[in-house]
């Protein structure tokens, strides 16, 4: 058994300790991917435009500091370069020769116009693993279509699936979570790890093309099959109302059904033709939940939870995110941690990975914009003071950082 607290230490051996990542990402999908790489020990150098990437300026804010940016970019170093300058591109290529991975989520075609596409960078570093994250992929008729998570979630069918699950609701829901962004980040993270493993075996680097559309589509298992096999699945996993709120419960297996029938004081359901066998029970699942709700509406949430959990049934109450601050399970797993930016400490989710031999945790430092320019230019690229001054005068770094 793994002790979560001991394996989330700020310092300790990590899976990607020797991996160096050059990060040209912004917003969520790319930034979360590279944050996970940093959590596992990678040295991630984030290249930002003068003034910083957009997420640095988006709410929630504490003064001028975005807490979302802090959460997505903690543990990375920061280098400011104006990529419109050819000298900045030359510096990037010099860095690529020293790095293992490049991750970017510009619109398709931008890296090629900059001269930083995989074909160009592979000439500098044949072992390079490069990953591009975009809305629809790097090629095809929709490749250049502008894309943010809400648009891809609408185009992919994801939001309509969510809408249909609400019953007779005529209008699609407003987007809640940026699922397309996060799913693409997770797919990119896994693909990069796989490519590094392949390189370790063969010495061969490669290019990875991750699309939010593809990533999201690959997650809609049941609903995709129902749509293309014309066998509608009407079973809905939704809230059960109580006298003072809502709970979620599910009943899939025969033992769970038997426990539920006893818990809601309807033992006769065991012989009801609608529910007695699994196939019939799945067909009439919504009716079973309606009977459960008729029972739960006369009881408080606390009472319903006590009865259902006492019966060994899967269940949970609906909570706000702020309610998780004192969650005993999250505390046990050290999943709530602290990172520090220019406005001070803030609470953030920790790395979700838990290994038995290596550590995984968010590195707590959030870099100031351009904080590591001098370190990179002098120590990594060994540029002399006159060369740095000349580049600065040419505007390669934007304003002084």
Strand, helix or coil for residue 24: strand
Q: What angle do CA 190, 191, 197 make, to 5 degrees?
A: 95
- Single out the catalytic residue among 117, 181, 223, 341: 181
Which residues does residue 316 pair with via DSSP β-bridges, in sequence order? Answer: 248
- 8's tokens: 């989330």
181 is catalytic: yes
- CA–CA separation, 115 vs 19, rounded Å? 24
- CA–CA separation, 89 vs 84, rounded Å? 8
Residue 143 backbone dihedrals phi, psi, to 5 degrees: -55, -40
DSSP secondary structure letters along 123-178: HH-TT-EEEEEESS-SSSTTTTS---HHHHHHHTSHHHHHHHTTSS--SPPPP-S-
What are the angstrom distances between the C-alpha of 328 and each of 5, 200, 201, 351? 13, 40, 42, 17
CB 70 within 8 A of CB 366: yes
Write the DSSP symbol of residue 375. Answer: I
CB 56 within 8 A of CB 209: no
Q: How far is CA 61 from the centre of its chain?
A: 20
**The CA-based dihedral angle spanning residues 312, 318, 322, 325, taken in that order and rounded to the nearest 10 degrees:** 0
Element (H, E) at 257: helix 254-263
Residues classed as catalytic: 181
């Amino acid at each position: 058994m793994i002790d979560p607290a001991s394996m989330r230490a700020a310092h300790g051996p990590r899976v990607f300790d020797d991996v160096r990542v050059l990060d040209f990402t912004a917003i969520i999908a790319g930034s979360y991917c590279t944050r996970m790489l940093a959590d596992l020990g990678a040295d991630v150098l984030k290249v930002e435009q003068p003034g910083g990437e957009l997420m640095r300026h988006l709410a929630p804010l504490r003064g001028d500091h975005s807490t979302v940016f802090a959460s997505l970019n903690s543990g990375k170093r920061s280098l400011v370069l104006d990529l419109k300058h050819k000298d900045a591109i030359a510096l990037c290529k010099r860095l690529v020769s020293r790095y293992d991975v490049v991750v970017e989520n510009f619109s398709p075609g931008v890296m090629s116009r900059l001269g930083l596409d995989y074909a160009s960078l592979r000439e500098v570093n044949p072992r390079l693993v490069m990953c591009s994250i975009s809305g629809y992929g790097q090629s095809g008729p929709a490749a250049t279509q502008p894309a943010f998570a809400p648009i891809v979630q609408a185009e992919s069918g994801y939001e309509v699936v969510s809408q249909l699950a609400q019953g007779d609701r005529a209008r699609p829901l407003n987007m809640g979570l940026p699922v397309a962004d996060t799913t693409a980040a997770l797919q990119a993270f896994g693909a990069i790890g796989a490519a590094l493993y392949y390189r370790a075996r063969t010495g061969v680097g490669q290019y990875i093309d991750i699309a939010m559309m593809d990533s999201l589509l690959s997650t809609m298992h049941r609903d995709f099959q129902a749509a293309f096999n014309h066998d509608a699945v009407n079973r809905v996993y939704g809230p059960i109302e109580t006298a003072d709120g809502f709970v979620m419960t599910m009943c899939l297996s025969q033992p769970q059904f038997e426990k539920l029938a006893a818990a809601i004081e309807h033992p006769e359901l065991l012989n009801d033709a609608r529910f007695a066998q699994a196939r019939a029970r799945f067909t009439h699942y919504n009716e079973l939940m309606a009977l459960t709700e008729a029972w739960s509406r006369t009881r408080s949430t606390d009472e319903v939870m006590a009865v259902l959990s006492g019966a060994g049934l899967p269940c949970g109450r609906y909570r706000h995110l702020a309610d998780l601050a004192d969650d005993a399970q999250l505390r046990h797993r050290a999943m709530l941690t602290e990172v520090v930016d220019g406005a001070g400490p803030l609470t953030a989710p920790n790395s979700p990975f838990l290994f038995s031999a290596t550590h995984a945790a968010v590195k707590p430092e959030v870099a100031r914009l351009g904080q590591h320019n001098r370190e990179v230019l002098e120590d990594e690229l060994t540029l002399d003071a006159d060369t740095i001054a000349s580049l600065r005068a040419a505007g390669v770094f934007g304003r002084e950082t």
